Amino acid sequence: MTRDSSGTPAAFATALRAREQLVGYWSVLDSPVSTERIARLGYDYVALDAQHGLIEYSGLLASLTAIDTKGSTAVGLVRTEANDPAPIGRALDAGAAGVIVPLIDTAQDAADAVAAVRYPPLGRRSYGPMRSGLRIGPNPADAHEQTVVLAMIETADGLANVAGICATEGLDGVYIGPSDLRIAIGGATSTDPAVDDRFEAALVTVREAAAAAGIAAGIHNADGASAARRLAEGFTFATVASDLTHLEQIAGRHLSDARPAR
């Protein structure tokens, strides 16, 4: 299933909450010009990684502005550095259409993330939409409708408590961090094939918990083919990662084409 994207936060939030299939891209580079080009390709969202990525606040602000360029089909999401009101609020004030909050272990963690995104009386976000007010809201009720909050499931506790997390009022979706989750269930590395069966079972657990709660279920992927497979399995949104990795892969491929191994 595909959809036409208007590239607006309101349309994105509506589609995500309706569990429509969405495809996004992951950015770790502080390179607004390349992010701008990616945003015009047809992706539904571009997620900026403020946790493990190479993006400081000024780069985050510039990249969110770039995502809103003429011709963009995407909205900007931010994976925040922590489940904390300060970085969450800064990302939203800079114009993010939503946040992906890492290391959610319990339903209380999820409730705290939701509270950081919503203004009183629904939450505790401080009012100061420096840039976001030009595109999202700016009235609190409108901002609530147009801004999404996604909880990362990537730990053993998060997996064990996923049903309660998904049932958290105001949470729009869950997002699997496959590298951390694979390690959390016993993998020696982030790609350890020895835990494939347990990992796939964990994905089903998360996907079914989200479906039962009526919220979106997303997952991070290394490439488009993997994203297509996960969407076919029942995930409602999938991210392709990432600009730094793909730059290296494409550069290496061109080198091999130009100078084949002797």
Residues 146 and 136 sit within 8 Å (Cβ to Cβ)? yes
- Classify each residue of 62-100 as buried b or exposed e, where b means 16 or more C-beta atoms within 10 Å of its C-beta: bbbbbbbbeebbbbbbbbbbebebebbbbbbbbbbbbbb
Distance CA 157, CA 171 (A): 18
- Classify each residue of 149-159 as buried b or exposed e, where b means 16 or more C-beta atoms within 10 Å of its C-beta: bbbbbbbeebb
CA of 149: how far to CAs of 50, 99, 185, in Å?
Answer: 15, 5, 25
CA 219: distance to chain centroid?
A: 8
Which amino acid appears at position 110 of this protein? A
DSSP, collapsed to helix, strand or coil, labels residue 208 as helix
Q: What is the largest CA-CA distance in the chain?
A: 68
Closest among 178, 227, 241 to 29, alpha carbons compared: 241
246 belongs to the catalytic site:
no
Looking at the annotation, which residues are catalytic?
52
